[in-house]
Amino acid sequence: MSFQRASLKPWNTFGIDVYANNVTIIHNVDSLFYKSLDKSVRRSEPILFLGEGSNVLFLQDFQGKVFINRIKGISFTETTHTWLLHVGAGENWHQLVKTTLYKGLAGLENLALIPGCVGSAPIQNIGAYGVELKQVCEYVDILFLNDGSHQRLKVDECCFGYRDSVFKHRYKNHYVIIAVGFKLIKKWQPVLSYGVLKMLNPQTVTPMQVFHAVCKIRRSKIPNPKYIGNAGSFFKNPLVTSPTAFDLLTLHPKIPYRLKNNGDVILSAAGLIDQCELKGYRVGGAAVHNQQALVLINTGAASSQDIINLARIIRRRVGEKFNIWLEPEVCFIAAQGKIDSVEVIT
């Protein structure tokens, strides 16, 4: 299905009303897809692949073709100690989490209610409440746009880091993720290291109880984009060295943080913004969410420039107060494609 000069408002959770030259929905990698893709490549036309547009901010009309990835399918293989899943990139992430739990497969419950599609998860190495994608990922299947060939990248080849992966670097152009493989260990161990999850009894808790607890936390903090436009966490939690963290936390002990195994420290971006008293702060139609400072919202008529201006003010306030300079987690999309988000708000 293809649409000419189509609005991208339904395809981004911020609800920014920009247009693309063409929007094509793909359900499988067939000859029609290749024909459409090849035509764009030969014309040197900008190409953008979207899942649910839950981690993007469109700055202007996109002067090219947008492909909406709806490649579906979930298959299960059982081994002695694991469940192996092969999942189409167009599957909704939260629905995948629910499907596995309803089938009695644990391991994804801490990642409940993260917006977007499965194909977007490896790009960010999504993580929440003590679990990251890299802990459950076995491989990622990609498609080369120039010749239609496929390649399977094993988990170590994905170079997963904190909200980072090879798909933001070597594979950020001319490739698209078409499927993700997961490995879920049958001998389940709950991860209860985050916030109110610590109150659950690790001896008796079930995966479904963890799932419901995570959903309750997320719903209390992050608005549903169906009703209030947002892209979830707008900024990354800053990663700093132990000495930097020590100096900062000595002066500002209320800032939440967590330690990494290598001794580095992840500071709470929401905590830093909170300390600047910016909850509810508004620029035009954009605002900092009252319940979660890390979420920027479209109050109904925000332009992308409103959101940029708000993000710029937040970054400057936090930088001036703490000498910590926040970086957007959200991808910025201009007329020709992705651009450096830090440069935009600096």
Amino acid identity, position 55: N
Rg of the chain over all Cα atoms, to the nearest angstrom: 20
| Residues present in the chain in total | 346
Three-class secondary structure of residue 41 per DSSP? helix
Q: What are the structure tokens assigned to 5, written together?
A: 């000069």
Q: What DSSP line would sit under 25-72, residue for residue?
A: EESS--HHHHHHHHHHHHTT--EEEESS-TTEEE-S-EEEEEEEE---
Catalytic amino acids? 163, 233, 329
Q: Any bridge partners for residue 267, and if so which?
A: 257
Contacts of 289 (CB under 8 A, 6+ apart): 222, 223, 230, 279, 295, 296, 297
Sheet with strand 331-334: strands edge to edge: 56-58, 331-334, 337-339
